[in-house]
Structure 1
């Protein structure tokens, strides 16, 4: 299965044994996001995690990496609980900017997109993006995303030949990754922004600050091992509308970006229906 970024799946699937015919419909296990409420000593739900990130006291802050985005890792503490999170304040938008190895028309790289990606992920019921909020720290406003302790990226997992755990679950989540990336038009997915904890069958998607182009088309989907989308996500894809998107994304995205998300949603429903990868909703 290659979903828009062949290198990612060539690496990911190198560790996956041969897989036969796909199931008639995926289970909802891939979207349960059990990790979210296991973090921070058993907080009961993601809303509590969001509140923690927004209100916990700052204990420490440190630079990590040398990239232009200058992410920082913070340590937070509240009510005897302590956790780490990654703080990004990048906010670049230009008609034509040389950012990687090429000029990209309409390029933008914004912390707000990290929060928007988290909200789209939850609107769809996917549950693979770590909890992310907007917060001001030391006079700077940025995105604050829960740091996943014990995780490694997919490249490292493949290089070290780590076990993949539940193969079917991994393939379902890779399909869900395509769904999310298509919705937010993330063409920057690579093996360094997929995190895994193989011993716990956990997978996380990070680094979405370059998403949300206004393009009204889909990234390519060339599936060698197609896995139908779970029924709960299929329902969300079919029933989500512009009003629901706007209620969650206003203030994070421009109106034309939100309309583009909804346009891609409709295209995605048609495409997955055509390929019989989207269960009917009764």
Structure 2
């Protein structure tokens, strides 16, 4: 590691890390390393563990939207390290020619399953017409942050139940195995958070079945 630079963040303490050879990453320490400093009004539940859970969930459902995220210890602080991706300056959401769904709609369905708060344009930048989910710090929490003004709520079951809009995106999630997901995210989350997530996954499985009917 060549450099660690503090970066402002709304939900947790975040650093940009220069790994050398033009590779950068985002390091988010676990809350126990920064909570006492209170540099910003962080949410108590925002954590590196949620970043790791988000990446594990993405891989478990074949989402392919979360950059590689691993657990690392830097300068004595344990946390998550996520590869930085160079995003497009401006791009519209791509439409899959094969499945006819907007890539952004697919992220909406995944954010519903993860219970992601605050999925703003800043943390879903576009790369080649597809959104990249770069901040899962407020995923899986099951409740609004205490500083909820301006924080976007997660997508609702009612919203994604609009099959005319989300049907194709729902059908695109072919690999939804609740036990596989449980195994993937359990190391990083509380038991009740895992169960709440699995309830949302099962709802998506139901909606997907409806969307697949002729």
Is the shorter-chain TM-score for this pair beyond 0.5, marking a shared fold?
yes
Say if 2:191 is the partner of 1:255.
yes
The TM-score normalised by the length of structure 2 is 0.75
Supply the distance in 1 between the matched residues of 2:8 and 2:76 (Cα, whole angstroms): 21
Q: CA RMSD, aligned part only?
A: 3.1
Give the CA deviation at 1:90.
4.9
Structure 1 residue 171: Cα displacement: 4.8
1:165 CA displacement: 7.0
CA distance in 1, matches of 2:116, 2:31: 17
SS at match of 2:198: helix
Instruction: Name 2:24's counterpart in structure 1.
Output: 84
Report the equivalent of 1:53. none
TM-score under structure 1 length normalisation: 0.58
Q: What is aligned with 2:68?
A: 131
Q: Which has the higher contact order (CA 8 A, sep 6+)?
A: 1
Equivalent runs, 1:112-131 vs 2, <5 Å: 112-131=49-68
Give per-residue Cα distances to partners, 1:42-89, cap 9 Å, x unaligned.
xxxxxxxxxxxxxxxx11111122646231100114xxx541000112
Distance 1:133 1:151, change over 3 A: farther
Residue 185, structure 1, aligned to residue 115, structure 2: yes
Matched, 1:75 2:30: no
On the 8 A contact 1:172/1:227 being kept in 2, the answer is no
The answer for unaligned runs of 5 or more in structure 2 is: 33-40, 144-153
Instruction: Check whether the contact 1:125–1:232 (CA below 8 A) recurs between aligned residues.
Output: no
Tell me if structure 1 keeps the 8 A contact 2:16–2:27.
Answer: yes
Greater helix share, structure number: 1
Task: Give me the whole-angstrom Cα distance separating, in 2, the residues matched to 1:259 and 1:269.
Answer: 15
Q: Determine the C-alpha separation between the residues in 1 that align with 2:167 and 2:6.
A: 39
The counterpart of 1:221, out of the listed 152, 156, 159, is 159
Distance 2:171 2:130 in 1: 20
Post-superposition Cα deviations, 1:89-142, rounded to whole Å, max 9, x if no partner, equal 2528xxxxxx58xxx9xx621111011011111111110111111110010011
Once residues 252 and 227 of structure 1 are traced to their aligned partners in structure 2, the CA distance between those partners, rounded to angstroms, is 30
Query: How many residues are aligned here?
Result: 191
Please give the alpha-carbon distance, in whole angstroms, between the structure 2 residues aligned to 1:143 and 1:64: 15
Larger radius of gyration: 1
Matches within 5 A, 1:265-276: 265-274=201-210, 276=211
**Is structure 2 residue 79 aligned with structure 1 residue 142?**
yes
Structure 1 residue runs of 5 or longer lacking an equivalent are: 1-57, 93-98, 158-162
Q: Is the 8 A contact 1:133 1:144 kept in 2?
A: yes
Instruction: State how far apart, in whole Å, the 1-side matches of 2:155 and 2:170 are.
Output: 20
Q: CA deviation at 1:151?
A: 4.0
Mapped partners of 1:266, 1:66: distance in 2: 32
